[in-house]
């Protein structure tokens, strides 16, 4: 990911927070001379041995072959983003742009198999999202008939990435004058969409 120094997000904890708050991402790996891409929920976490990414795909997904081959994969997490109109800036003769935050991680892949390991993976992926729905009682796979769960587990394959590269980008107008940034924030807040407001809040943190 092209990342000019002004936009390089070096705060590792903040990068992990972006990935945790936006777990539905893009996953890609080289396969058969091309690139196989899918969209899926993933979990990026820091453990005793470093960064670890997990997820799962349908057993019929071609990416399963990449897991089995130990190929290198890349996951992309996109945070808040919004269009920025040049009319919002204080300075004249500016151009349109898009402000955003994103996190890329890459590393070798391996499959996760076995009923117990897959149950643990599903819990890791599901529990944070169920927690967000409190006070609703959390759904767990224990609520399912176990014979049905076993049959469904046979249709998916889990994977793990040992993360060797993390690149995070925070393009939020840090290269603009304060008056321009404030004008863009005001424009986003007036527009009022969820992405606009979230991006505006991040931009305020840069001032």
Q: For residue 64, say if its preceding peptide bond is cis, omega within 30 degrees of 0.
A: no
CA-nearest of 48, 66, 32, 60 to 161 is: 66
Average pLDDT over residues 63-85: 97
Residue with tokens 């109109």: 85
Report how far apart, in Å, the C-alpha atoms of 89 and of each of 75, 95, 178, 199 are. Answer: 34, 10, 10, 16
Residue 48: band (very low, low, confident or very high) from pLDDT cuts 50, 70, 90: confident
pLDDT higher than threshold 90 for residue 49: no
**Partners of 56 in beta bridges:** 158
CA separation for the pair 138, 128 (Å, rounded): 10
- Quickly list DSSP for 24-85: EEEEEEEETTEEEEEEEE-EEEEETTEEEEEEEEETTSTHHHHHHTT-EEEEEEEEEEEEE-
Residue 62: band (very low, low, confident or very high) from pLDDT cuts 50, 70, 90: very high
| Length, in residues, of the chain | 207
Residue 72: band (very low, low, confident or very high) from pLDDT cuts 50, 70, 90: very high
Residue 164: band (very low, low, confident or very high) from pLDDT cuts 50, 70, 90: very high
pLDDT > 70: percent of the chain: 100
Classify 148 as helix, strand or coil. helix
Classify 156 as helix, strand or coil. strand
CA 5 to chain centre: 21
Q: Is the pTM of this model over 0.85?
A: yes
| Residue 90, Ramachandran bin (φ over 0: left; ψ between -120 and 50: alpha; else beta) | alpha
Residue 47: band (very low, low, confident or very high) from pLDDT cuts 50, 70, 90: confident
Domains of the chain: 5-205 (2.30.110.10)
Contact residues for 180 (Cβ-Cβ < 8 A; gap 6+) = 88, 89, 90, 91, 94, 173
CA separation for the pair 103, 85 (Å, rounded): 24
């Amino acid at each position: 990911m092209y990342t000019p120094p002004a936009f390089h997000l070096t705060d590792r904890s903040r990068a992990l927070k972006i990935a945790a708050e936006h777990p539905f991402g893009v996953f890609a790996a080289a396969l058969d001379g091309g690139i196989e891409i899918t969209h899926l929920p993933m979990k990026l976490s820091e453990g005793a041995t470093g960064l670890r990414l997990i997820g799962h795909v349908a057993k019929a997904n071609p990416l399963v072959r990449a897991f089995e081959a130990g190929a290198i994969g890349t996951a992309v997490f996109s945070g808040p983003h919004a269009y920025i109109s040049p009319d919002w800036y204080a300075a004249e003769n500016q151009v349109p742009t898009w402000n955003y935050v994103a996190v890329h991680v890459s590393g070798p892949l391996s499959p996760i198999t076995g009923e117990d390991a897959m149950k643990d993976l599903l819990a890791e992926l599901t529990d944070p999202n169920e927690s967000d729905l409190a006070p609703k009682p959390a759904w767990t796979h224990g609520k399912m008939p176990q014979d049905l769960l076993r049959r469904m587990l046979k249709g998916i394959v889990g994977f793990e990435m040992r993360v060797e590269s993390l690149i995070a980008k925070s393009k939020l107008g840090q290269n603009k004058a304060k008056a321009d940034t404030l004008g863009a924030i005001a424009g986003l807040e007036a527009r009022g969409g969820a992405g606009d407001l979230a991006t505006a809040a991040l931009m305020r943190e840069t001032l």
